[in-house]
Structure 1
Amino acid sequence: MKQNRGKKQKTPKKELQPKPVREISAAKRRLFSAITFSLPVLFLVILETALQLFHYGGNRALFVSTPDESSVYYGINTEAGRRYFFWGNFVPTPRKDLFLKKKPPNGYRIFVLGGSTTAGFPYGNNVTFTRILQRRLADTFPNRRIEVVNTAFTAINSYALADFMDEILAQQPDALLIYAGHNEFYGALGVASAESIGRIYGVVKTYLKLQKLKTFLLLRDAINGIRKRISGSSENNLNVDDPLATEMSRIVKEREIPLGSRLYDSGKKQFQSNLHDILKKSQNAHVPVIISDLISNARDQKPFVSIQSETLPSAEGVFEQARMLEGDGNYDKARTAYYEAKDLDALRFRASEEFNEIIHRLAAEFSIPLVPMKTVFEKASPHGLIGNNLVVDHLHPNIDGYFLMADAFYNTMRREKLISADWPGQYIKPVSYYRQNWGFTKLDSTYAALTIAHLKGGWPFKESGANLSLYEFNPSTKEDSIVLNILKTGQSTLELGHVELAGFYEQHGDWRRAFDEYRALIYTVPCLDVFYEPTVNLLVSNQQYEQVLALLYDALKYNESFFIYKWIGQMNLSLNYTERGIFFLEK
């Protein structure tokens, strides 16, 4: 007992009992889950709204107010090409075609879809087959406001054309014209293009839809920036950043695509699917379509890449056989052999005849008119062999070829009674009249020739070595110097070249040649006053009043502006046509 004296008894600790866990109600669990799910969605919505607010990526709509927001016209957006070109630095520019925002009651509006041939390469805006067609139709129907809108870009294919359709149909077209099919492999998003995101059709179509989201563009640009930093240059194409390389050499990813291979069949399927979608949308919108088959330089362009397999002969061997058949005067068999050699060419810049078969088959399926362009070109070629007589390179027509294309579309429209059941014969002029009186000068032909020289100075026309064509060219005329400056520096344009040359001729007292340069500019952009003003001033200063009137009356088919009416009135008064002058001044 003594031992325990003075010591406090330890009180036993109470055993800690765990607090009961309060169970979260099902309603709160749903609320927390909704918040967890909503936060990233809310973040993306805020991000998308901010990117839209600050116009990230710019405006990539197909049509924008041109030349400014106050204009009565829409034009093709110069930024629209960025929808399809993003891996490299090249972005194609559109044609300078305008159409009224408000379609007039007497209007007839045609949209044209295609690639570089439809865009008029290697010429300027005044020598597209669409511009030629528009003038012929405007002359044929002087009481209608004919608009032919060329939506073509270089190096695009059927993916882009199908992507354009909703925007085109929203602009109340009366007809669509299509010349396309050569760019299915190497055009942007094509199965063998350096500007590709893969070969699966559904993936590409989904990608095009997602591009409407600015957040998606931001993500795409970030990935592209990282890819460029890691690779240092394009892993697919060493020419992509070469300043001397042509776009033709930059755009290729796969240089060998044998006829009948899996990649070849993917390109065919892509073309057929997109073209079917285009025709189906047009049919549903009750918009008539005219489609053309394709032409190539089969006679004078040797195959770029010739390979031989157990099942297929070499393209080069078949081409040489065609040469021998032609030499023997067996032109029908030679033609067949030339087309076979073209189809066997493993570098697929020229569409094979199977693509023409797709065009013919879908035209029949949708009961739409077909322009037999290949037959038209064959009939205009010696012995029916299409070559350098009408084509400047592997597939682009020369100026005679473009007039031939315009004539073929014109004749098909007339046969099908588009615009009117009655095409008044008294207003119809032969295509030769337009060829002889066109707004086209030596500057245009020089520009085209040097452009083609540059194209053929690089791959695949030349196997290796730097493309020095522009640096080895020695200008001998004023036109040569202007064109060389345009192509070498990129700081001028063909239009500015015409302005410079017109000024040069004016300074030297040659008003007729100055007028030719201004007329080429009017044919380039017929809807605006900008090139009519210096032309009128030139003619008035040289007392060419009747020529001023003829020019301005013609202008009314494209441009009913205050400037045009004012000058028609003043010229009529100057020529003592008082009543007529007052009538136009009052308008």
Structure 2
Amino acid sequence: MNRTSVTTNETPKKRIFTILLIATPIVLLLALEIMLRIFNYGGNQALFVTGPEKQISHYWMCGQEVGKRYFFMQNSKPSPPKDLFLKQKPANGYRIFVLGESTTAGFPYGYNLMFPRILNFRLNDIFPEKQIEVVNTSMSAVNSYTLLDFTDEILAKQPDALLIYAGHNEFYGALGIGSTESLGKNPRVIYAYLKLRRFKIFLLVRDVVGLLRKGVTQISSGSTEVDPSNTLMARIVAEQTIPYKSKLYELGIKQYRENLRRIMRKAQQKGVPVVLSELVSNISDQPPFISVPADSFPTAAHAYEIGKKLAAQGQYQDAKTALTLAKDLDALRFRATEEMNEIIHQVAQEFNAPVVPMKDYFEAESEHGLIGKKLILEHLHPNVQGYFIMADAFLHTMKDAHFISPQWPEARILPKSYYQQNWGMTELDTVSANLDIFYLKGGWPFKPKNQPNHALEDYVPSTKAESLAVNILINDNYSPVVGHVDMAKYFEKKGKYEQAYQEYKAAYYSIPSELEFYKGAVENLLKINATGQALAVLKMAQRYGHDAVTDKWMGSLLAADGQFAEAAPFLERALEASPEDKPLMRNLMRVYEHLQMSDKATAMAAKLGVEPPSAAPTASPNPMTEEGQKSITYMLLTQKAQEFIQQKNYGAALTFMRNAHGINSTPYTYKWIGMLEAGKGNLDEGVIFLAKAHELWPDDFETAYNLCNVYIKLGRRSEAETVINQMEQLRPNFKDPQNLRGRIREMP
């Protein structure tokens, strides 16, 4: 009896002890997880976060800490562009998400020259009745694992289409088999990691392991992984040599195919169409980085040598074959192989998806069809022309596949050259990108591994743009868009308002949601009486928001243009925000008068303490001052002149430009009268106006070029030499379609 009683009493105690033994670590882990979440350990790593400022809080924005998911061995981590899209998708909305790597993110340029941004502007012009959002989620140094991890979050945001351009980073991008950020070669481990990283405890353990790994690496090898003189590209590579068709190579290819199929399957299940794209890179002018034997294949270096010889002999098709093989045999896997392009086509066929024939587009604009330095800056990143080609290729593929609409209005599909000529980009974009590439080529793999990057040691900036470009390169907190704003302020101080406007334009092409950039642009346009352009800029800004200033400007310019019904709502909204603004009240009173809204006009007059306007004026009073009316008349005349110039009706254009000149003699009218007179053969008259324009506007290259051309035609060599020397300072090594240099040398 006693033994049984003891046993019975001990059993509940053992159970309680066992439960406590199991529950205690679970409770502790839960408590730690809660604590880490309270203190927001690791930051907000969501792909999409609420717009950080009040005016954009109704938007989702690409999260700037999402890169922390994949990079735990790097001190600096990449982030996607700060693209926005509405939390409440409008009824006329069409939402596109773009997935990719550094090329898709626009490297080495700012956000204004990403091909998704170019595509967005073009689609808006083609379909003005729709609200088209193109959201770029791309980041440098990632691969298909990141794209797959993003997919569910993207599909939850009501996409109408996905566009994918990715594959060059497949081996070395985060979690890739050859990356310093690798978790091994087993995809199951990586898929599990992508699920577990949602827990803060897991992130803590991962980061501790990462710190230990970095410490061991530093002790054992001096660590180039965190060397600040190395580019992210150099720091991310662990397994340099991956021979063609080797075991590691095949694992990378398998990883790419499987992840691409998983992405397509997820999108298909949600009914979201996907556009895949072929991958392009520099085959003609980039020798292989690492050349090693690979089974029965020639070495990469030998294949490249054969390709260059064939090209020199004019055998371009055979040269393309050899150069493409050389690229595929390059054991440093920075450029996607043709096998990956085959996978893209196979997966697209499996899921009935269109493929952008990107190789055809690039080859069509490359010398002899060999893609090289004409369109590619180094081994794979396009130049400005290349990014416009990419946008064009995606646009026409979407059109052919009937995305957005079964019928696209052909009249609105302007050529890519139009956009490239009128784009929001400046000298700063080119200078900054060139410096980025210069620095990139100062390190591995263009220079020996473990050698510090000395590219900037002897670099001395000679212009304001070059100084800002250095800051953009070395300062993580100084972005290209900040550089554009600083450049704009620099030009404003010098009274160069046209150039200041162009910098602000580049800024709002970079971040279209930032109203301050539009306001800066408009302020400078108004200073040069470009009211038509100012109105167009304000209309563009309305897509993203408004404030009292933009409403006042918008209403005033619409009223000055005679669009009184359209002007009234803007002026009324501006007055709500600034109820004591008397000039605004007067403007609104005049608008009401024009609209014959006598009650509102009288009420506004009472607020102003003035006589109410007549209910039905015999002559419509002008809502602007006399000076303002002159400004509007000047604007309308110059706009009409430009319309006639586009129609090649130069006689009518000259008449309108001279009328505008009579109202307001500006560098702009001097320039165009001079060019039009010279074009008619009136060189003596043309040179007078062009010389005056050059005096007033010495930094305008077009004026200088035309003045130099007229001086040559008049036989005035010394003056032509003076102007061309000034042109060389403005734009070194400028293109010279009229052969001014040669013609000056031939002059007596």
TM-score (norm 2): 0.74
Aligned equivalent of 1:130, options 89, 107, 116 = 116
User: Matched residues in 1 for 2:31 and 2:565: separation?
Assistant: 64
What is the Cα deviation at residue 269 of structure 1? 1.0
SS at match of 1:22: helix
Query: Where does residue 720 of structure 2 map in the other structure?
Result: none
Letter in 1 for 2:257: Q
State the match for 1:324 in structure 2. Answer: 309
Is contact 1:234-1:240 (8 Å) kept? no
C-alpha deviation, 1:524, in angstroms: 0.7
2:281 counterpart of 1:296: yes
- Report the Cα distance in structure 2 between the residues aligned to 1:480 and 1:246, rounded to whole angstroms: 20
CA distance in 1, matches of 2:153, 2:407: 31
Give per-residue Cα distances to partners, 1:152-189, cap 9 Å, x unaligned. Answer: 00001000000001110111001000000011111011
Partners of 2:73 and 2:225 within 8 A in 1: no
Corresponding position of 2:132: 146
Deviation digits for residues 319-370 of structure 1 (CA, Å, limit 9, x no counterpart): 0010111111111111011010001000000011111111110000000001
Distance 2:489 2:154 in 1: 39
Counterpart position of 2:243:
258
Per the alignment, do residues 230 and 261 of structure 1 end up closer, same or farther by CA in structure 2, a change over 3 Å counting?
closer
In the other structure, the counterpart of 1:370 is 355
Deviations 1:497-542 (A, max 9, x none): 1111111111111111111111101111112312112112222233
Partner of residue 181, structure 2: 195
Q: What does residue 527 of structure 2 align with?
A: 541
Q: Please state how far the C-alpha of 1:575 moved relative to its aligned partner.
A: 3.9
Secondary structure in 1 matching 2:348: helix
The amino acid of 1:432's aligned partner reads: S
Equivalent position SS for 1:149: strand
Q: Give the structure 2 partner of residue 336 of structure 1.
A: 321
User: SS at the partner of 1:177?
Assistant: strand
Shift in Å at residue 120 of structure 1? 0.4
1:280 is aligned to 265
Corresponding residue to 1:345 among 306, 314, 330: 330
User: Equivalent residue for 1:551?
Assistant: 537
Which residue does the alignment assign to 1:442?
427
Q: Which residue number in structure 2 is paired with residue 72 of structure 1?
A: 58
Q: Could you tell me which of 454, 472, 484 is aligned with 1:468?
A: 454
The answer to whether the Cα contact below 8 Å between 1:228 and 1:234 also exists between their aligned partners in 2 is no
CA distance in 2, matches of 1:47, 1:583: 55
Query: Equivalents in 1 of 2:271, 2:294: separation in Å?
Result: 47
| Kept in 1: contact 2:242–2:249 (CA 8 A) | yes
Kept after mapping to 2: 8 A contact 1:96/1:524: no
1:121 aligns with 2:104: no
Q: CA deviation at 1:231?
A: 4.4
Please name the residue that 2:509 is paired with.
523
Count of matched residue pairs: 570
Once residues 491 and 478 of structure 2 are traced to their aligned partners in structure 1, the CA distance between those partners, rounded to angstroms, is 19
TM-superposed deviation, 1:33: 2.6
Decide whether the 8 Å contact of 2:519 with 2:550 is kept in 1. Answer: no
**Do the aligned residues in 1 keep the contact of 2:253 with 2:340 (CA within 8 Å)?**
yes
Q: Secondary structure at the match of 2:447?
A: coil
| Superposed displacement of residue 417, structure 1 | 1.1
After TM superposition, the structure 1 = structure 2 runs for residues 82-121 of structure 1, keeping only pairs within 5 Å, are 82-121=68-107
Task: Label 1:328 to 1:205 Cα distance change in 2 as closer, same or farther (>3 A).
Answer: same
DSSP-derived class of the 2:515 partner: coil
> Match for 2:385 among 377, 400, 424?
400
The answer to whether the aligner puts 1:432 opposite 2:417 as a matched pair is yes
Q: Extract unaligned runs of 5+ from structure 1.
A: 1-16
Please give the alpha-carbon distance, in whole angstroms, between the structure 2 residues aligned to 1:116 and 1:261: 26
Q: Which amino acid aligns with 1:431?
A: K
Q: Distance in 1 between matches of 2:513 and 2:67?
A: 23
Q: Indicate if the aligned counterparts of 1:305 and 1:346 stay in contact, CA closer than 8 A.
A: yes
1:181 partnered with 2:167: yes
Instruction: Kindly indicate whether residue 278 of structure 2 is the aligned counterpart of residue 305 of structure 1.
Output: no
> Greater relative contact order: 1 or 2 (C-alpha under 8 angstroms, separation 6 or more)?
1
Conserved 8 A contact 2:108-2:437: yes
Shift of 1:583: 3.9
Deviations 1:8-50 (A, max 9, x none): xxxxxxxxx9998534576654444333212211211121122
Between 320-329 and 126-135, report the one with greater CA deviation: 320-329
Residue 379 (structure 1) aligned with residue 370 (structure 2): no
Tell me the CA shift for residue 270 of structure 1.
0.9
C-alpha deviation, 1:442, in angstroms: 0.5
Tell me, yes or no, if the aligned pair for 2:148 and 2:262 is still in contact at 8 Å.
Answer: yes
Identify if the C-alpha distance between structure 1 residues 538 and 20 changes in structure 2 by more than 3 Å, giving closer, same or farther: closer
Alpha-carbon distance between aligned partners in 1 of 2:298 and 2:78, rounded to the nearest angstrom: 37
Contact 1:529 1:563 in 2 (8 A): no
Aligned residue number for residue 200 of structure 2: 214
Conserved 8 A contact 2:99-2:165: yes
Return closer, same or farther for 1:562/1:138 CA change in 2, 3 Å cut-off.
farther
- Residue 406 of structure 2: aligned partner: 421
Deviations 1:463-487 (A, max 9, x none): 2543111222122221111112222
Letter in 1 for 2:97: F
CA distance in structure 2 between the aligned counterparts of 1:310 and 1:486, rounded to whole angstroms: 45
Give the residue type in structure 2 aligned to 1:495.
Answer: V
Moved more, 419-428 or 351-360: 419-428
SS class of match (2:314): coil
**C-alpha distance in 2, partners of 1:410/1:521?**
24
Query: How big is the shift at 1:57?
Result: 1.3
CA contact (8 A) 1:115 1:157 kept: yes
Query: How far 1:312 sits from its partner (Å)?
Result: 2.5
**Partners in 2 of 1:68 and 1:197 — Cα distance?**
37
Q: Go from structure 1 to structure 2 and tell me whether the alpha carbon gap of 1:62 and 1:234 turns closer, same or farther (over 3 Å shift).
A: farther
- Provide the C-alpha distance between the structure 1 equivalents of 2:389 and 2:220, rounded to a whole number of angstroms: 40
Q: Which is further off, 20-29 or 71-80?
A: 20-29
Q: Which has the higher helix share?
A: 2
| Residues 243, 294 of structure 2: 8 Å contact kept | no
How much has 1:119 moved relative to structure 2?
0.2
1:81 aligns with 2:67: yes
| Residue equivalent to 1:455 | 440
- Aligned CA RMSD, in angstroms, stands at 2.0
2-structure distance, mates of 1:233, 1:325: 49
Paired amino acid for 1:89: N
User: Contact 1:157–1:188 (CA<8 Å) still a contact in 2?
Assistant: yes
Q: Which amino acid aligns with 1:389?
A: K
Report deviation, 1:570.
2.0
The unaligned stretches of length 5 or more in structure 2 are 574-748
TM-score (norm 1): 0.93
Instruction: Look up the SS of the partner of 1:245 in the other structure.
Output: coil
Structure 1 residues 364 and 323: alpha-carbon distance in aligned structure 2, compared to 1, 3 A threshold: same
Residue pair 2:102, 2:141 contacting (<8 A) in 1 also? yes
Shift of 1:584: 3.6
Q: Distance in 1 between the 2:535 and 2:64 partners?
A: 34
Note the 1:473-492 alignment, pairs <5 A: 473-492=459-478
**Residue identity in the other structure for 1:493:** S
Distance 2:340 2:280 in 1: 11
Looking at structure 2, the residues matched to 136 and 222 of structure 1 have their Cα atoms a distance apart, in angstroms, of 47
